[in-house]
């Protein structure tokens, strides 16, 4: 994908339709900006409902704890 966007005088960027459609991004969705070298990663912030159950089956045994730090 080689779509581009221009920063407006109000420091706003419109995400090209092809990118929005490909990632199924919707209006009002929240994003995080993560600095990477000379660029920035744009990452959608998941809704709490989307995170429900992602750690299902995780075991606390053998989990690293503060006791193993110096």
Tell me, what CATH number does 32's domain have? 2.10.260.10
- Does the predicted TM-score (pTM) go above 0.85? no
What phi and psi, each to the nearest 5 degrees, are found at residue 28?
Answer: 90, -5
The count of residues in the chain is 70
Residue 40 lies in a domain: yes
Residue 1 lies in a domain: yes
| Domain membership of residue 40 as a residue range | 1-46
Number of domains in the chain: 1
Residue 69 lies in a domain: no
Residue 19 lies in a domain: yes
Q: Which two tokens stand for residue 1?
A: 């994908």
List, for residues 14-40, the tens digit of each pLDDT value.
Answer: 999 999 999 999 999 999 999 999 999
Q: Which two tokens stand for residue 58?
A: 């995780």
Res 48: pLDDT:
83
């Amino acid at each position: 994908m080689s779509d581009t966007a221009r920063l407006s005088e109000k420091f706003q960027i419109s995400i090209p339709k092809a990118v929005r459609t490909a990632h199924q991004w919707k209006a009002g969705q929240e994003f995080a900006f993560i600095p990477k070298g000379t660029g920035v990663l744009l990452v959608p912030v998941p809704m709490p409902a989307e995170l429900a159950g992602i750690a299902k089956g995780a075991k606390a045994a053998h989990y690293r704890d503060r006791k193993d730090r110096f």
